[in-house]
Amino acid sequence: MRRRFVRALARPLALAATAVAIPLLSAAPAASDVVLGGYPVEAAQNPWTVALSSRDRFGRMRSGQFCGGVVVDPTTVLTAAHCMAEDVLGAPPDRARDLKVITGRTDLYTDEGREIAVRETWVNPAYDSGTNAGDFAVLTLAEPLPRTSAIGLAGPGDAAYRPGTEAVITGWGDTTGFGAYPRRLRAAHVHVLADALCERAYPGSADGKYLSASMVCAGDERGGRDACQGDSGGPLIAQGRLIGLVSWGSGCGRPESPGVYTRVSEIVRTLGRGRTPQGAGKTP
């Protein structure tokens, strides 16, 4: 299964629907629980990790969560472009009803934290749903978050992209690969992997194609620790910086099928060329 994390129907990774001002800083069985092979964490310790919500589209259970996102500025959240697709939201993003960002909520069955409306969406016009390249979107919030909620971005040439670097993924996605969605935020430790591993795993098919210029390969070569459906758009963090957004892959936690993440340094390069709405992409 190609997981596009809404990792959903193929392998972008959002939940399938049922019935930027940005700071630049220089099928194996699942283990226990995702994030696959993960462990519980608190939202307060991961304030940049947010849930995207639409109760109108996904119901009230789990606060209507369907994707993840990352706070990169008090009013700016990055997520996956495929999370903003019309077949996910039921309408173009600028017309989607009840689209919100939930912050500070560890347990999706509670009302802790804040729910903030999305004032504006910008989907990368170069996003290619065939290869999955350029899988990112920028959400502008109607109300600001504390600056301490934001995480900095890894730029081109950042050492955090070196293969073998330990990284962390966080989200509320499927913990088994078979539709077991947790109520509480989870995290898992993975490693940045050599591009060659993903190039062999994804040479080009209906699922997508690994392109090292805009994607990052991460996970565990033996499988078991991975993002999964519902984690799309969430963070891949290494050395205190955001290096990737959960994007796509084949299955969840399978040996020789690593997770593929949107490369944040390429997002930085794209936004630096002024391709976002006014204000997005600037260093605070």
Q: Of the residues 232, 250, 257, 265, which is catalytic? A: 232
Confirm whether 232 is a catalytic residue.
yes
**CB crowding 76-88: b at 16 or more within 10 Å, else e:** bbbbbbbbbbeeb
Q: Of the residues 33, 53, 73, 82, which is catalytic? A: 82
Q: Which long-range contacts (CB under 8 A, 24 or more apart) does 195-202 make?
A: 197/221, 197/256, 197/258, 198/258, 198/260, 200/256, 201/250, 201/256, 201/257, 201/258, 202/250, 202/260
In sequence order, what E strands does 172-258 have?
A: 186-192, 215-219, 235-238, 241-250
Q: Of the residues 135, 174, 220, 231, which is catalytic? A: 135
> Which two three-digit tokens encode residue 130?
């065939």
Residue 148 near residue 47 (C-beta atoms within 8 A): yes
Residues 6+ apart with CB under 8 A from 62: 108, 109, 172, 181, 183
In sequence order, what E strands does the chain have?
A: 2-5, 12-13, 24-25, 39-40, 49-53, 65-73, 76-79, 100-103, 114-123, 137-141, 153-154, 166-171, 186-192, 215-219, 235-238, 241-250, 259-263
Phi, psi of 53 (to 5 degrees): -135, 140
Q: Which of 191, 238, 188 is nearest to 30 (CA)?
A: 188
Confirm whether 220 is a catalytic residue.
no
Point out the residues that are catalytic: 82, 135, 232
